[in-house]
Structure 1
Amino acid sequence: MEEGKEAENKRFLKKILLIINCIIQVTGTCGGPLVLRLYFIHGGHRVWLSSFLQAAGFPILLIPLSVSYIMRRRRYNNHHHITTIATKPRIFTMKLPLFIVFSFVGILQGLDNILYSKGIASLPVSTSSLVIATQLAFTAVFAFLLVRQKFTPYSLNAIIMLILGAVVLALNGGGDSTAGESSKTYVMGFVMTLIAAALIGLILPLVELAYKKTKQIITYSLVLEIQLVASIAGSLFSLVGMIVNKDFKVIPREAKHFELGETIYYVVLVSSAIVSQLSGLGAMGVVFCASSLMSGIMIAMSVPLTEILAVIFYKEKFQAVKGISLALSIWGFVSYFYGEFQQAKKMKKNRIPEIEQPQNHSNINA
C-alpha cells in the first residue's frame, strides 16, 4: 500500500516537473526568435555571433545545479550516519559515456543554431516560426526509427497538418520577403530554416535514446548537467566560426552603429543567450519527463503565440497565406492533444490497480 502511494506521489511530482519544463520551453521558444530578429532588423549582421548566443547562456545553469548540490549535500549530512552505503554527493555526476554522447549532441545543436540564424536573418519571425514548426514531422519520423515511438490516428493527422502548413508557406512565401531582400535570399532562408527544423527533429529523439540506453540513472540534476555539456560544446562550435569570420573585431563597431543604441545592443545579446538557454533546458526536461515527440509538440505549440507577438511587436504582415498555414498548424495541435487526452482516458479506465515498478533509468529526484 505504501509502495503504491509512493509511486503515485512520484507520478504527481513528475507531472509538475513536466508542466514547469513545458512553460520554460515555450517561453524560450517564443522569445528566442523575437530577440534574434530584434538584433537583425536593427543593424546586427553576424550570424555566427547569433548562433553562439543560442548556446552561450549555459552559465545560468550553474545556479540550479548549485541549489541541487546544496540540497543533496544537506540530505547526505542528515542521513549518512544511518548507513555507510550512501556516497558523498558531487556537484557533477555525469559519467564519461554520457559526456561523450552529449558533447556530440552539442555540436549538432551548434550546427542547427547556425542554420537557424542564417534562416531567421532572411525571414520574418512569423514565417520562420511556422517553418520551424515542421520539426514535429521530422521528430516523429526519427522518434519512430530510434525509440520506436507509437502513433495514433490523431498524432498522424497532426503531423500531416503541420507538413501542409509548411508547404503552403513554401509555395506562396515569395511575396513575404523582408524589404530589401531578394526572392533568392528568401528561398535560401526558407531552406536553411527547414534544414534546421530537420536537425532539431533528429536531436530530440537522439536525446531520448541516450536517456534510455545509458546505464547511469537519469535524475533532473543530471539533465541540467547534460544541458550544460551540450551548450558548452555548441558554444565552442560557434566560437570557431566567430574567430574565422573575425566577429570579435566587428562587435564593438556593430554596437556603436546599432539603431537602438550601444547599451541596448549588449542587452539584446545577453537576453538572447538567456532566453535561448531556457528553450534548450525546457526541451531536455520535457524529453526526460515525457518523450521527444512531446518536446517537439511544445516547439510547434509555440508557433501561434510567436505569430501573434511578431505581428504586435514588429508590425509584420499577417497575410492570408500565413492565416491558412497557422490554421492548419492549430488543427494539428488540437488533433494531437485530443488524441493524447482520449488515450489517457482509455488507459485510466482499463488500468488494473497494481504496484508500479520504477521506470528504467528515470528518477525525478534532484
Structure 2
Amino acid sequence: MADAGQAVELQIRAKDEIFNEASSSTNAIQIPETKHYRWWLRVAVYIIFLLAGQATATLLGGLYYDEGGNSKWMATFVQSAGFPILIPILLFIPPSTTAAITPPPATTLILLYLFFGLLLTGDNLMYSYGLLYLPVSTYSLLCATQLAFNALFSFLFNSQKFTALIINSLFLLTVSASLVAVNSDSDDSSKIPKGKYIIGFFCTLGASAAYSLYLSLLQVSFEKVIKSENFRVVLEMQIYPSMVAACGSMVGLFVSGEWTGLKTEMNGYKKGSVSYIMTLVWTAIAWQICSVGILGLIFEVSSLFTNVISTLGLPVVPVLAVIFFGDKMDGVKAIALVVAIWGSVSYVYQHYLDDLKLKAKMRLLVSGNDGCHNA
C-alpha cells in the first residue's frame, strides 16, 4: 500500500511538473497580436491622409513654380512649416500610461528630433533642387527609385521579409511610376545647362535615398527607442523634427539671401499676392497631413508599406491634374493608375495573409495550452 501511495504521489507530481512547464513555455512565447478591424480602419485613414496630402501638396507646389515662384528655400520651408496646426491635437491626447513601458531619456529624444529634423531639411532641399533643375519626367523617374532604396534599407534595418506578393507589388509600382515619368510632357532637357542638370540628377537621387533611409530609421525609432503604442508619439515625431527642419530652412533662406527677393516674387505672382500667400499656406498644411499619414503607417505597419502607398500617389497626381488643371488625359496615365492600384492591393493582400497565419498560430498555442491544462 505504501508503494502504491508513493507511485500515485509521483504521478501527481509528474503531472504538475508537466503542466507548469507547459504553462511557463506558453507564457514565454509572446502570442502575436492579430489585426483588429480598428487597425484596418486606422491604416485606411492614414492612407487617405498620405495620398490626399501628397497629391495636394504636389499640385500646389507645381502651381507655385508655374505662377512665378522660384525660391528654393521657400519651397523647402513650406514642407515643414505647417507643424503648428498639429499642436492643438497633441494637447488633447494624453501620454501613454502603460507601466511596462519606460520612456526614453529626454536627451535621447532631443537628439532624435534634431537628427530627423536636419535629415528632413537636407532631403527637402535636395528635392527642391531636383525639381528646379530637372524635367518633370526625369525627376519623377528618379523619385520612383526610392522604392528600391527603401527595400534595401528595410532589409538592413527593419528585418523586412520579401514574399512573392511584396516583390510583385514593388515591381508594379515601379513600372507605374516609370510610365508617369516617361509620359510627362516636360521632357525637354536641352534648355537646361549641363552643370545644373547633373546637380539636379544627383540631388534627386540623393533625396530619394535619404527619404528611404528616413522612413526605415523612423521605424527603428518607434520599435527600439520609443516603444509606445500611442498616437501621441506619432504627433511628437512629426512636430518636433518639423520644428527643427523649419528653423533650418529659415536659416538657409536668410543666409542664401533669397529672403530679399520674396517681396518682389509675391508682387510678381501671376494670380496676385493673396493667392501667393494662400498657395504657400495650404502647401504647408497639405505636407503636414501627408506627414501624419506617413508616420502613422510606419507606426502601424512598416516603412516599406508606407513607401508603397507613397508611390501609389505618383500616378494619382496626373489624374488630379486632369480634373483640376485641365491637363490632357491619355491611356498611359490610366494604365499607370490601374497598375499602381494593382501593386498596392497586392501588398495589402500580403498583410491580410500574414494576419490569417497569426490567427492560426494563436489558435494552436491556445489549444495546446488547453490540452496541457486538461492533461
Q: TM-score interval w.r.t. the shorter chain?
A: 0.7 to 0.9
1:176 to 169, 186, 210: 186
**Structure 1 unaligned blocks of 5 or more:** 1-6, 77-84, 87-91, 356-366
Matches within 5 A, 1:155-234: 155-164=166-175, 176-177=186-187, 181-182=191-192, 184=194, 189=200, 191-214=202-225, 217-234=228-245
Question: How far, CA to CA, are the matches of 1:144 and 1:298 in structure 2?
Answer: 18
Superposition deviation, residue 42 in structure 1? 0.5
Alignment check: 8 A CA contact 1:174 1:186 kept: no
Per-residue CA deviation, residues 35-85 of structure 1 (Å, 9 max, x unaligned), is 11110010000011110110011101111112224xx7xx99xxxxxxxx9
Against the structure 1 CA distance between its residues 201 and 105, is the aligned structure 2 distance closer, same or farther, given a 3 Å change threshold?
same
Per-residue CA deviation, residues 155-197 of structure 1 (Å, 9 max, x unaligned), is 1122234445566777x57973369943856675454333322
Superposition deviation, residue 98 in structure 1? 2.1
Per-residue CA deviation, residues 192-230 of structure 1 (Å, 9 max, x unaligned), is 333322211111110010111116535211221111111
1:101 to 79, 99, 112: 112
Q: Are 2:61 and 1:50 aligned?
A: no
Equivalent pairs counted in the alignment come to 331
Superposition deviation, residue 10 in structure 1? 8.9
Against the structure 1 CA distance between its residues 126 and 342, is the aligned structure 2 distance closer, same or farther, given a 3 Å change threshold?
farther
Alignment check: 8 A CA contact 2:113 2:241 kept: yes
Against the structure 1 CA distance between its residues 8 and 349, is the aligned structure 2 distance closer, same or farther, given a 3 Å change threshold?
closer
Q: TM-score, normalised by structure 1?
A: 0.77
Matches within 5 A, 1:14-29: 14-29=39-54
Question: How far, CA to CA, are the matches of 2:78 and 2:87 in structure 1?
Answer: 17
Aligned residue number for residue 65 of structure 2:
40
**Residue type of the partner of 2:74?**
L
Against the structure 1 CA distance between its residues 174 and 39, is the aligned structure 2 distance closer, same or farther, given a 3 Å change threshold?
closer
Against the structure 1 CA distance between its residues 352 and 251, is the aligned structure 2 distance closer, same or farther, given a 3 Å change threshold?
same
Aligned residue number for residue 129 of structure 2:
118
Alignment check: 8 A CA contact 2:33 2:358 kept: no
Alignment check: 8 A CA contact 1:112 1:199 kept: yes
Alignment check: 8 A CA contact 2:140 2:177 kept: no
Against the structure 1 CA distance between its residues 65 and 102, is the aligned structure 2 distance closer, same or farther, given a 3 Å change threshold?
same
Question: How far, CA to CA, are the matches of 1:249 and 1:160 in structure 2?
Answer: 46
Against the structure 1 CA distance between its residues 313 and 93, is the aligned structure 2 distance closer, same or farther, given a 3 Å change threshold?
farther
- Higher-Rg member (1/2): 2
Superposition deviation, residue 140 in structure 1? 1.4
Against the structure 1 CA distance between its residues 24 and 130, is the aligned structure 2 distance closer, same or farther, given a 3 Å change threshold?
farther
> What root-mean-square deviation, in Å, do the aligned CA atoms of Structure 1 and Structure 2 show?
3.5
Alignment check: 8 A CA contact 1:127 1:322 kept: no
Instruction: Point out the more displaced range, 157-166 or 315-324.
Output: 315-324
Question: How far, CA to CA, are the matches of 1:327 and 1:191 in structure 2?
Answer: 30
Question: How far, CA to CA, are the matches of 1:317 and 1:123 in structure 2?
Answer: 22
Superposition deviation, residue 279 in structure 1? 1.3
Against the structure 1 CA distance between its residues 121 and 251, is the aligned structure 2 distance closer, same or farther, given a 3 Å change threshold?
same
Alignment check: 8 A CA contact 1:42 1:260 kept: yes
Q: Are 2:139 and 1:139 aligned?
A: no
Alignment check: 8 A CA contact 2:176 2:315 kept: no
Against the structure 1 CA distance between its residues 192 and 164, is the aligned structure 2 distance closer, same or farther, given a 3 Å change threshold?
farther
Per-residue CA deviation, residues 235-263 of structure 1 (Å, 9 max, x unaligned), is 12212210122222211111000001010
Against the structure 1 CA distance between its residues 179 and 264, is the aligned structure 2 distance closer, same or farther, given a 3 Å change threshold?
farther
Aligned residue number for residue 336 of structure 1:
347
Instruction: Point out the more displaced range, 259-268 or 271-280.
Output: 271-280
Q: Percent identical across equivalent pairs? A: 33
Question: How far, CA to CA, are the matches of 1:137 and 1:158 in structure 2?
Answer: 12
Superposition deviation, residue 348 in structure 1? 4.0
Question: How far, CA to CA, are the matches of 1:291 and 1:14 in structure 2?
Answer: 14
Aligned residue number for residue 261 of structure 2:
250
